[in-house]
Amino acid sequence: MERIERHACFGGWQEVYQHTSKTLNCEMKFAIYLPPMEEEQKYPVLYWLSGLTCNEQNFITKAGAQQFAAQHGIILVVPDTSPRGENVADDSAYDLGQGAGFYLNATQSPWNTHYNMYDYIVDELPTLIETHFPVTHQRAISGHSMGGHGALTIALRNSARYRSVSAFSPIVAPSVVPWGKKAFSAYLGDDTTQWHLYDAVALISQAENVLPMRVDVGLDDPFYQEQLKPELFSQACDAKQFSYQLNLHQGYDHSYYFVASFIGEHIAFHAKHLKA
């Protein structure tokens, strides 16, 4: 593991590392924000999953999250959105291939050689973080768009590993929307039972209980009706009588202007549960 960036930020340090991932069979980068720290103390971790076309840089340069992580004493870990490299399968479209890992384990060739983002986020990356940094085993997870989809599905499938989950503009039902249908067909094939393993609405419908969940969506998001469909999330939760927060914001779109406007509330939401 090699540190390739370090910047002083709100009394702490914004760093970026590069390492060889056995899970993804390529070199990967992740960003980590370390808040102001006291010696011999360990801190909880919030994992952030970014959306289509993004890498580890988008969130750390656009969301303004570090100031809130510093206030609450939370470490932020921000991985890339997919495997990368000349030998990694790719597609000319923005919504498939590199930059579009969809946080799943691909079963179809040529994607299954590298595209195991689910295992990377759930197992390999936390092991790396917990080996090299002063962190507790208290984890939360959040994300935006495709990353919101990843955060919800990973948390729902691993509720014992996380204290809370939140999402901005998530793809809550990828099995029934164009982005998800395209990616799932390529990565997972035609077996829709495999698709439901990575579909938040399907997972909620099958769950016995859920961890604390918060979802925020902008009503002026151009993807609201065709790709996001937050009403399916609320219907699934209501049918099971699960507690959740769904906040709809007039005037806000799909951009990081939206994320930056409410990231402080999301980090406070996670801090409450991480430190309970």
State the total domains in the chain. Answer: 1
Annotated catalytic residue 72: no
Candidates 72, 114, 149, 254; catalytic one: 254
145 is catalytic: yes
How many whole angstroms separate alpha carbon 121 and alpha carbon 56?
Answer: 13
Average pLDDT over residues 265-274: 98
What pLDDT was estimated at residue 276?
Answer: 86
Which residue segment(s) compose the domain that 218 sits in?
2-275
pLDDT by residue (tens digit) across 51-101? Answer: 999 999 999 999 999 999 999 999 999 999 999 999 999 999 999 999 999
Confidence of residue 128 (pLDDT cuts 50, 70, 90): very high
pLDDT, tens only, 200-236: 999 999 999 999 999 999 999 999 999 999 999 999 9
d(CA 216, CA 167): 6
Residues listed for the chain: 276
What CATH number does the domain containing 253 carry? 3.40.50.1820
Rounded Cα distance between 65 and 263, Å, is 6
What's the rounded Cα separation, in Å, for the pair 172 and 198?
Answer: 9
The pLDDT value given to residue 127: 98
| Residue 242 pLDDT grade (very low, low, confident, very high; cuts 50, 70, 90) | very high
Over range 105-118, report the average pLDDT.
Answer: 98
How far is C-alpha 262 from the chain's CA centre? 16
Of 145, 164, 166, 169, the active-site residue reads 145
pLDDT at 176: 97
